[in-house]
Structure 1
Amino acid sequence: MPRPRGGAPRGPGDPERGPRRGGMPPRRPPVPPRPPRPPLVLRLGNPRRRINIGMIVMTFILSIFAGRLIQMQGLDSKIYEAKAVGQRMITEVIPAKRGSITDVNGHALAMTVEAREMAIDPSKVHPNVRAKVANVLAAELGKSQQEIAGKLAKDTTQYQLLAKDVDPVVANRLLKAQIPALTAKKQYKRIYPAGDLAGTLVGFVGVDGTGLGGLEEAKNSVLAGRDGKQRVEQGRDGQRIPMTHSQRQAPLEGSHVRLTIDRDIQWAAQKSIAEQVRAVGAESGTVIVMDVKTAQVVAMANAPELDLNNWRQAPQENYVNRAAADVFEPGSTNKVITAAAALESGAVRPTTSFRVKDNIRCYDRTLRDAEPHPTETMTFQTAIAKSSNVATIMAARKVGSQRLHGMLKSFGFGAKPGGGVPGEEAGLLPDYKTWSGSQSCTIAYGQGVSVTALQMASVYQTIANGGVRVPPQIVAGTTGEDGRFTAAATGKQTRVVSDQTAKEITAMLESAASEEGTGGLAAIPGYRVAGKTGTANRYDPKLGRYDGYTASFVGFAPADAPRLVVLSVLQNPQKGHFGGQLAAPVFKQVMTFAIKSRKIPPTSSTAPPVRLSAGQ
């Protein structure tokens, strides 16, 4: 039979499927060998194709650069041009020249002069010449050779400041010495030709030219002016590029301030008070000279005074204008206010008699006159002339605390004088409702109330001016950049007491300054003088208690036609303590100089006779 095709199953007797004889499996037919692989053939690319691909890539890259270039030079050229200019442009400050401070006659007390700021680029100074350069710079700039050499050794820096406030002549000499990379920048320097003349009043400026004390600080906005600006292009070496764009805003110079101070009288006042402070071992002293009619301060002297050319070396307490800032109890110089209150009220007349012992009981305290004396009858005028505390208390009791407080306030106590004097204080005037029993008595003769020297000088200006008070004035006016002088506004005139009361008090003060009064040492030959001594216990804030004395004298001359007020104060003197002994001689020296300087003629009239007691 023929074998079926396809996948018909074979029978068990199929020789290909059935077991071999003996039980062994049948063998597989051998696998035919694989045909050999063909050899690898390296086929080289088409050169034209490679070139085309490279050109496409290069064209793409160049198109990117071209687009960026078009953007930078075409579309954004203005932006990049501005950035480039901005990197070259720098803004320089053109300092404004600070205005000067002068006395009433135009003599400079503070002024500004040109100077130079010297700097160098150490990286451009060859090591071989550093020692020579350092010697030249040190000698011209007044610096040590070691300091200059140390700055030149910093050759990794491109800027080292050598000195400020260099004289232009010195700067020009150094620039001509051909020192590598040396530069000089224009600036201004503040100088004080008068040294310590009115030092604490004038004040001083800091390193940035801003006022730090006195009128330099108080009038800083007037004196400073306004700085200018300049934008210029410079190269990598810091030098200005010629013929390039620049912008300039000119500075506005500061105005000049003219004071009411008279340089010559100021000098005399400072000399007199400084000598007396040394002579009596006082802690400090003050002198004020004031014009009666205008209340302009002609002199304001302190001892010790501040040397403005060396203010950094002075103790800080010397920065204070004691004439306007130091507060003290005035003592008997305050009795004129009690007298004014008594006379204005009509309760007391100059001829009113008092039976005066040398002590008086005031609540829990017994108050005394400065010198013991038997009970005597005094007129009120004599009581003021002899500076009797007891008689003054008796007069104050007729007035009452409320009215006395009102008069003190009317004379300016408890308020700043308001005349523009820097550092002025208000003093201390307690409300009469808070006065203790004894304080109602002690305030009558100047203890328990505090004032400044400027306030007390203002009191006597009011009396000398016929009872009309004018705020003290220190600035006469200003001169702008255009050269025009603008006078300061005059102070408001306020009537405090009547002209009659002022004349009666003047007569009392003239008695006090006579040989019969306590101020005989203030008398000036040929001139009638009115004034009052003051001796007060001194409160020391450092100790928190009373310690030492305040000696003072204040008056005016000529008494019949007052022109000038002079006040002198000595704080904590060690050799004596009475104002008539210590302060009156200062008054005499300063007033004598001032009336001669002002060419005030001698008095033509004679003083009225002094009625020493009720029986005379």
Structure 2
Amino acid sequence: MSSSRDGRRSRDPRRPGAAPRSGGPVPRGRPSRPRSGDPGRTPREAPPPRRPRSGPPPPPRRPGGGGPRPPQRRPFKRGNARRRLHIAGILMTVVLMVFAGRLVQIQAIDASHYAAAAEDMRLTTIDIPTTRGDITDSSGNPLALSVEAMTVFVDPVTVRDDERGTVIDELTERLDLDRAEVAGKVDAEPSRYQVVAEKVSPAAWDEIEALGLSGVGALTDYKRVYPDETGAADLVGFTGADGHGLEGLEAVMEDTLAGKPGKQQVETGASGVQIPMAGGLSQEPEPGKDVQLTLDRDIQWHAGQALAERVEELDAEGGSAIVMRPDGEVLAMADYPTYDQSEYADSEAGDRLNGAVAEAFEPGSTNKVITLAGALEEGLTTPESVYTVPYSVQIHDRTFSDDHFHKTQQLTLNGILAQSSNVGTIKVGQQLGPQRLYDYLRDFGFGSPTGLDLPGENAGILAHPDDWWGTQLPSISFGQGLSVNAAQMASVYATIANGGVRVEPTLVAGTVGEDGGLTPAEDAPSRRVISKDTADELSRMLEAVTGEHGTAESAQIPNYRVAGKTGTANRVDPETGTYNGGHTAMFVGFAPADDPELVVQVVLHNPQDQYYGGEAAAPVFTDIMSFALKSEKVPPTGTEPTNIRLFGGG
């Protein structure tokens, strides 16, 4: 390539726009102007000076001419290619090592952990029902028991299409269900577990199982059964749908009866429904213990029947009856109205109330025995002591009188109790005084829970002597101004029958384990309240109540000596707070009087027409006591009643 005189490279004539070579043909077209400084250009031909332009200076021309240079860009500094590949390789190696390490950790080091976690996501532990312990009487006769039942279910996924109609028809007919509901469960895919019916008898399930229906299965469960007409519904109570005790002894003894459920793992499907077939048993269920009561089933049933008949006959609001041994063992505790434990949802709360402990009432004349017991124990009087007893007496602003009008008479302490004189008892109470009377009431169990630990117990009301006003001492002396429940009152007479030693009433004899052995309950607390001499004197005095001149001849039982006491108390009207709410009729006693074996307490709430204790309640006492003496095979009394003096003077 040649160079021009000015040292610039000449244009290549082979490229468009290039300068022609020296000596070559002149190109056609407009002649080119000679450039300044060229040999052939004259001064006249020099171009005028250019005016300066505003803005940035023109771009520099390329060497050798040919127009302005294009805008200069900052050159990209490229690194070394090998270096870049080396760095990229290191990074990829690090990433792959992290992934590989994580895979090793998951699949090798922590494999068991993640496998367990994955399994936990679809496996759940559920409780396996266990057998609830039975409640029995003292001879092992059931008052409440658990029997095997079945929970029938379907697995919709495994029900064959050609059997769908048959499955629906058979389950509907055999289990007496709504067809549309059964069809909905059979079609409930993707669910794997749909409960069709609960508490199905094993016999009914055996018939269904024999059909070999696809997708139909059953789990073993238990249901609570209460034998008909035990007369113990208010005492025993019932369990709920989940098998846990809700009322009565079922609730009180829950921890003993319930046992411990087993554990089973079940698979949880995509819909969240448990599939019991997929898991395994992880813990065996532990059955509950049987609870053996002191009750006698036959006596309990008879007491309930006799009480119900009398309540209905006298159109009373209700009543209770208790049969007890002198040592506090309860053989029967009946209440009316009552209910069907198997249909408890259809009953009212009042029907389920165990009135023997939940219903508090004024004890009336049955309380007089405590006033006399205190005076005898303190040596303030004797059974033969004579009192002048008018029909009525004025104390402060109140007049107290006996139930029946009589002229002023001379009565011994025996006669005061036999005639149930309010005025005579007030005189004895004044001898005893407020504090000592209160102390004996407490010692006999008033104002404190019975120890039976039954739901809804009402311990009654017994104010402290510091809170008594002017007429409180005479009122409390003959059974007004305080309240008790039937079990407390029965315990008073059991104490006398037990020679003056009070033993807290008991219902539970013990628990029975799987081996059938009885573990006895702890002995009930006991304490001496009065001496045996005082108790014997009271027994003779109480026997006179059922004698010829007493208030309860209707309580006599052929061939047996009977000691007891009538009681008639006014009921407080809750709306007015006055004694205008009817009456409470009572009778409580024991037999045989000379060697007591059984105590019976009967309470009737607001009976109509006949409301005196000797008329309304004593016949029920006689009925129940007669049956109980025969049931317990108590031999007839071989002695005659002691003649005691009721009246004094000439």
TM-score range, shorter chain: 0.7 to 0.9
SS class of match (1:15): helix
- After superposition, the Cα gap between the structure-2 partners of 1:545 and 1:366, relative to the gap in structure 1 and judged at 3 Å, is closer
- Cross-structure match for 2:376: 343
Alpha-carbon separation, structure 1, partners of 2:555 and 2:583: 20
Contact 1:232 1:247 in 2 (8 A): no
Counterpart in the other structure of 1:17 = 46
Shift of 1:437: 1.5
Partners of 1:196 and 1:306 within 8 A in 2: no
Equivalent in the alignment of 1:330: 363
1:40 match: none
- Amino acid aligned to 1:573: P
Distance 1:416 1:320 in 2: 17
Cα separation, partners in 2 of 1:89 and 1:522, compared to 1, 3 Å: same
Are 1:295 and 2:328 matched, yes or no? yes
Distance 1:132 1:397, change over 3 A: same
Q: Partner letter of residue 593 of structure 2?
A: A
Once the two structures are superposed, what CA deviation does each residue of 1:14-41 show, in whole Å capped at 9, x if it has no partner? 312378xxxxxxxxxxxx999xxxxxxx
- Which secondary structure does the structure 2 equivalent of 1:253 belong to? coil
Give the 3 Å change call, closer, same or farther, for CA 209–362 of structure 1 in structure 2.
same
Among 594, 603, 611, which residue is 2:637 paired with?
A: 603
- Offset at residue 161 of structure 1 (A): 2.0
Aligned pairs, how many? 574
Tell whether 2:543 aligns with 1:524: no
Q: Does 1:556 align with 2:590?
A: yes
- The corresponding residue for 1:116 is 150
- Following superposition, the deviation at residue 347 of structure 1 comes to 1.8
Partner of 1:46: none
| 1:462 matches 2:491 | no
Please state whether the residue corresponding to 1:200 is helix, strand or coil. helix
Q: Secondary structure at the match of 2:151?
A: strand
What does 1:222-233 correspond to in 2, within 5 Å?
222-231=256-265
Determine if the alignment matches structure 1 residue 97 to structure 2 residue 153: no
Counterpart contact for 1:420–1:473, Cα < 8 Å: no
Is residue 418 of structure 1 aligned with residue 451 of structure 2? Answer: yes
- Sort the Cα spacing of 1:265 and 1:195 in 2 relative to 1 into closer, same or farther, 3 A: closer
Letter in 2 for 1:15: R
- Judge conservation of contact 2:486–2:601 (CA < 8 Å) in 1: yes
Of residues 345, 353, 357, the one that matches 1:320 is 353
> C-alpha distance in 1, partners of 2:615/2:454?
30
Q: Are the structure 2 counterparts of residues 8 and 476 from structure 1 closer, same or farther at C-alpha, using a change threshold of 3 Å?
A: same
SS at match of 1:394: helix
User: Counterpart amino acid of 1:108?
Assistant: P
CA contact (8 A) 2:157 2:192 kept: yes
Residue aligned with 2:582, SS: strand
| Match in the other structure for 2:511 | 478
- Relative to the length of structure 2, the TM-score reads 0.82
C-alpha change, 1:584 and 1:182, in structure 2 (3 Å) is same
Alpha-carbon deviation of 1:357? 1.4
Deviation per CA, 1:337-360, whole angstroms, max 9, x where unpaired?
Answer: 011111122222111112211111
Compute the displacement of 1:142 (Å): 2.8
The whole-number CA distance in structure 2 between the counterparts of 1:368 and 1:498 is: 31
Output the CA distance in 1 between the equivalents of 2:114 and 2:434. 83
> Which amino acid in 1 is paired with 2:237?
G
Q: CA RMSD in A?
A: 3.2
What is residue 369 of structure 1 aligned with on the other side?
402
Q: Which residue of 1 aligns with 2:243?
A: 209
Q: Quote the Cα distance in structure 1 between the aligned partners of 2:268 and 2:43.
A: 112
Unaligned 5+ segments in structure 2 are 1-6, 8-34, 49-64, 68-88
| 1:42 paired residue number | none
Aligned to 1:250: 284
Contact 2:163–2:214, Cα closer than 8 Å, also in 1: no
Q: Provide, for residues 289-321 of structure 1, a one-character-per-residue CA deviation record: whole Å limited to 9, x for no partner.
A: 0011x2100110111123212211111112221
Task: Provide the secondary structure at the position in 1 that maps to 2:406.
Answer: coil
Counterpart Cα distance in 1 of 2:169 and 2:451: 55
Aligned partner of 1:571 in structure 2 is 605
* Alignment partner of 1:434 is 2:472: no
8 Å CA contact 1:469–1:495 kept in 2: the answer is yes
1:590 aligns with 2:619: no
- Which residue of 563, 566, 569 maps to 1:533? 566
Q: 1:64 to 1:222 in 2, by over 3 A?
A: closer
Mark the CA change 1:566 to 1:68 in structure 2 (over 3 Å): closer, same or farther.
closer
CA contact (8 A) 2:256 2:288 kept: yes
Contact 1:328-1:539 within 8 A present in 2 as well:
no
225-234 or 503-512: bigger deviation: 225-234
Q: CA deviation at 1:441?
A: 0.9
Structure 1 residues 544-553 or 577-586, which shifts more?
Answer: 544-553
* TM-score (normalizing by structure 1): 0.86
Greater C-alpha Rg: 2
SS at match of 1:472: coil
Which of these residues, 474, 493, 498, is aligned with residue 531 of structure 2? Answer: 498
User: For 1:233 and 1:154, how far apart are their aligned partners in 2?
Assistant: 17
Residue 601 (structure 1) shift: 0.9
Tell me the residue number matched to 2:4: none
Matched residue of 1:346: which SS?
coil
Cα deviation, 1:533-579, whole Å, max 9, x if unaligned, reads 00001124466543010000000000011111000000011122100
Aligned counterpart, 1:444: 477
Alpha-carbon contact 1:103-1:109 (below 8 Å) kept: yes
Give the counterpart letter for 2:509 in structure 1. Answer: A
CA 1:154 to 1:246, structure 2 compared with 1: closer, same or farther past 3 Å? closer
- C-alpha distance 476-75 of structure 1, shift in aligned 2 (>3 A): closer
